[in-house]
Every structure is written in structure tokens, then in C-alpha cells.
A and B are shown apart, each in its own frame.
Chain A
Amino acid sequence: KAGVTQTPRYLIKTRGQQVTLSCSPISGHRSVSWYQQTPGQGLQFLFEYFSETQRNKGNFPGRFSGRQFSNSRSEMNVSTLELGDSALYLCASSTTRAAGTGELFFGEGSRLTVL
């Protein structure tokens, strides 16, 4: 089976722009969760989707949003980018309804640099 696929792998944006990141889960996985990874903060939970419904949301401002499609693919969007949004954004998929209760399978991440 193909692993979790994230696109794009690298991108550079300027402050004020917006960005959309995509995640294709492992075939058959209906749960997708997103994390922001930075050297100082580790992995911080953004949100989690199951069958197109957001099940949980982390403590991020409203500029961060996401959605899941009927084929389980997910996107996250960050609007009005700030320098502090520079990070590696990881997507993970899981077979369990609640991602946190099962094994997470991670993608390689999308590295966002905001200038």
C-alpha cells in the first residue's frame, strides 16, 4: 500500500499570503489529522477529520482551517500567513475513528517557509 502522501513537499510564501496543503491518506484510512512541527514546540495538534467531519481542533487561530473530502483526502489552509507559521506540517492517517486511539501513519510533511 502507498503511504500517506503530502503535497507540496516544500513551499515558500510571503507574509499575508495564504497557502493550501494537501494530504492523501493510506487507502482505506478514513481518519486524517494534522500537526505543526517546530524545533521548539515539537508536534502541535491542529485538527482531525473522520468521514468529512471535523472531530477535534487544536488551539490554533482561525486562520488555520481544514477539510476532508469524500475520498478521505484532506486539505489544510492557512490564511494571512505570519513569519511564525514557518514549520513542517505533518499529516497522519489512521484506521480508527478517533486518530488518537490508534496507530498514526505519518506523511513526510510539507515544509512551509514564510518570508
Chain B
Amino acid sequence: AQRVTQPEKLLSVFKGAPVELKCNYSYSGSPELFWYVQYSRQRLQLLLRHISRESIKGFTADLNKGETSFHLKKPFAQEEDSAMYYCALCNFGNEKLTFGTGTRLTIIP
């Protein structure tokens, strides 16, 4: 069964410091991975997806198949990055999307 683990429920980082939100997955095939974000009083929305290989709002995420990880990184945190972040995995076999339990990121001014 596929599983997504976000080991940190809460993460606090000073403004200007680097950010890394961890995401590990268990899945035997080739997954499609996503990061979704929910800012305060806004809807949950897609931040980025592995297949696009884009940098969105300064965030990047690299798929490491050896470590089965898809960590989200940003070199310099900004106050507006404070939000709830969810990692998600799509199983191409059954096309189900599985979310992690989320990490609440707080940027300290």
C-alpha cells in the first residue's frame, strides 16, 4: 500500500533562513508526487508537482528514488511562506492520490 510520511507536524524557521519540509513515501512503482499548500483563510492549492520540475514561489522539490523522498526546499524563507503544507503521491496503478498528514510551517520575523 502507498504511504506518505511527513515527519514534522510543526516547523518554525527564521525569515531569511533556508527551509526544508520533509516528505517520505513508500510505493513500489514510479510515483507522481505533489506539494499542496494552504495559506491562512485560503483554499488548499497545488504548489508544485514533480513532473513539472518547476520552481514555484522560490520552492523546489527533488524526487530521490533511492531515499524515497520528495523534500520541499527554499533557500530563503519569507513571512508569506507561513502555511500548512501537504505532500501527496499518486499511484499510477490505481490512480489514487494519498496525502501526508501535513506540516505547519511558521516563519519567524
**A interface residues (Cβ-Cβ under 8 A, vs B):** 3-4, 33, 35, 40-45, 48, 55-56, 58, 90, 92, 98-101, 103-108
Contacts and interface: CB of A to CB of B under 8 A. Distances in A.
B94 interface: yes
Contacts of A104: 36, 44, 46, 97
A103 B96 CA distance: 13
A3 to B, nearest CB: 7
Contact of B94 (A3, A4, A42, A56): A56
Contacts of B44: 43, 90, 92, 104, 106
B54 to A, nearest CB: 12
A14 B39 CA distance: 31
Chain B interface size range: 20 to 34
Nearest to B97: A100
A100 B95 contact: yes
12 contacts: A33-B97, A40-B101, A42-B6, A42-B102, A43-B99, A45-B96, A45-B99, A48-B96, A100-B95, A101-B90, A103-B49, A108-B43
A91 to B, nearest CB: 11
B92 interface: yes
Contacts of A35: 99
